[in-house]
């Protein structure tokens, strides 16, 4: 796995990265969002979702609902985006009740707190690790599996 690092000096840069990844997303893609509380996972997800929906969406954090879905389009085809927040889960089995297998198979999935997936973590995915480096600055590390390798490298190069 070849990782790429991207410096995001402000929220607008995070939104540009989200839009760039959204433009490359396909049905069946899973993006795992890692980072401490306040690192920008939900902000990234909000920008990603709004890049693929026909009208601006209010995208609340799914901390308490655990999952939110959005009707979107990727590559001109309709797709559902599943936004999961697994922070409150106690075991990976709880994710099955959320429809995560369906999401991984048919939709585009954004998963906050992916460490809660355990063995259910899909073989193919893009992990995006976000870390706070300053007031509004973030450091993003893209960790792609083979299905995302070329797409992630091209996006990281555009941000270099």
| Domain residue spans of the chain | 4-159
- Looking at residue 98, its pLDDT comes to 87
Listed in order, strand segments (DSSP E) in 75-125 are: 77-85, 108-112
Note down pLDDT in tens along the chain; length 160 residues.
688 999 999 999 999 999 999 999 999 999 999 999 889 999 999 999 999 998 888 887 887 789 999 999 998 899 999 999 999 888 888 888 888 999 999 999 999 999 999 999 999 999 999 999 977 799 999 999 999 999 999 998 888 7
Contacts of 58 (CB under 8 A, 6+ apart): none
* Helical spans, DSSP H, in the chain: 11-24, 41-52, 100-106, 149-159
What are the Cα distances from residue 133, in Å, to 12, 130, 151?
15, 9, 25
> Which residue, 136, 113, 137, 133, is CA-closest to 45?
113
pLDDT value, residue 60? 78
Round the CA-based radius of gyration of the chain to a whole number and report it: 14
131 with 7: CB under 8 angstroms? no
For position 1, what pLDDT does the model report? 64
| pTM, 2 dp | 0.93
Q: Which CATH superfamily is domain 4-159 in?
A: P-loop containing nucleotide triphosphate hydrolases (3.40.50.300)
pLDDT, residue 7, reads: 92
């Amino acid at each position: 796995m070849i990782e790429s690092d991207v410096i995001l000096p402000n929220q607008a840069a995070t939104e540009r990265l989200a839009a760039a990844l959204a433009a490359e997303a396909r049905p069946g893609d899973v993006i795992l969002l890692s980072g401490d509380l306040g690192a920008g996972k939900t902000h990234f997800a909000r920008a990603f979702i709004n890049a693929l929906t026909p009208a601006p969406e209010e995208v609340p954090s799914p901390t308490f609902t655990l999952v939110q879905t959005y009707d979107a389009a990727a590559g001109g085809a309709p797709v559902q985006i599943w936004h999961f927040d697994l922070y409150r889960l106690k075991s990976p089995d709880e994710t099955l009740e959320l429809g995560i297998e369906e999401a991984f198979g048919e939709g585009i999935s954004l998963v906050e707190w992916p460490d809660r997936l355990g063995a259910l973590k899909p073989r193919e995915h893009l992990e995006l690790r976000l870390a706070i480096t300053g007031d509004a600055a973030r450091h993003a590390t893209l960790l792609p599996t083979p299905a995302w390798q070329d797409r992630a490298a091209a996006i990281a190069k555009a941000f270099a």
